[in-house]
Structure 1
Amino acid sequence: MGITGASGSIYGYTLVRALHQLGVETHVIATEMGEKVMQFECGIGMKELKEYATIHSNQNLFASIASGSYLTDGMVIVPCSMNTLGSIANGVGDTLLSRSASVILKEKRNFIIVPREAPFNLIHLRNMTRLAESGACIMPASPGFYHKPTEIWELANFMVARILDMLGIDHRLLERWGEKA
């Protein structure tokens, strides 16, 4: 899992906690700005995330997850900045985050990118198209409102539930459309 400097760290933090609660082994890579934005928006640092996941330095290209021989179910980058998205879309693998993403793409594993940007410019859209054509799922942080959320954590859970669904991970984060409580 990657966490970058885009706003929306609550989604990343909520996903890490949900994966931990579901018993899913999770590895986290945060960019320098990802760490700063998470601290600013959520008051959470990498020290706190160690409780839920294995944390990797973005500069450690020798980490296990930088190799295709290390088996994973997939990768999620949430939130994903346009800088990181552009680097991955253009094959730049100079950090552990971008290298791990490249590995996920070449191994044809689940790869979900959750951009939290608006509006998109043409370069953003072309980079997203390039990633989608390479097998990535582009899932903008656009929570629904049909479940009538009244608190911010309900919006975060909505997006995290969608991410877990795309990864094929069973959960009960929210009531599904048509289900009765």
Structure 2
Amino acid sequence: MMLHTRLAAGLMLAAAVTFPAAAAETVTFDIYKDGDSIGQEVYTFDQGPDGQLTVDVAARTDVQVLFLKFHYDHQRTEVWQGGELKSMTAQTDDDGTPHQMALAREGEAWRVQVDGGQRTEQPGALPLTLWTPKVLEASRVLSVIDGEPWDVTVEKVGPDPVRGRDAVRWRMTGGVTRDLWYSPQGDLLQIGFERQGYDITYVRR
């Protein structure tokens, strides 16, 4: 049964919404294409004395398909305060195509700047920051590469352990599709989706 994103997320967030508290904590995800290792995504969490949480993300993949090689390099910084996202900046090399993105609050709405252009986005939108189950509350998400907006819904698939660790699986569908596995404490353990006919999986170490 499909649930509105806020209702689905509420079941999980009522139990726990976790934001890593340890200064300079690092979490690494290995990235696979059809089971073959193609890169990593590394999160560094740094919480200041005022409670502000800075999340630095570095992702890199190199994929060889026949005689073609594809490259992806992404750097992102998120700033959170009181469990709410305040701003985000990102730089991406998407197989030779560069993107610059900045997201900041403008009143209750978002000011989105991408590759020299600017627009306003509705207050409830969130970038596709999958490390936190907070993203399950949003019915509209934004690409962290070029700010493309997607309307989404979420369903709770149910318990589905990841490498022996307890996890609940959620499915995001709509403009973008992602399968997301979170621990009972709200830690992201795995991401799954399809890209150009290939199964892409991110697995937390």
Question: Same-fold call, TM > 0.5?
Answer: no
> Which structure is larger by alpha-carbon Rg, 1 or 2?
2
Q: Greater strand share, 1 or 2?
A: 2
TM-score by length of 1: 0.32
Higher relative contact order (CA 8 A, sep 6+): 1
TM-score by length of 2: 0.30
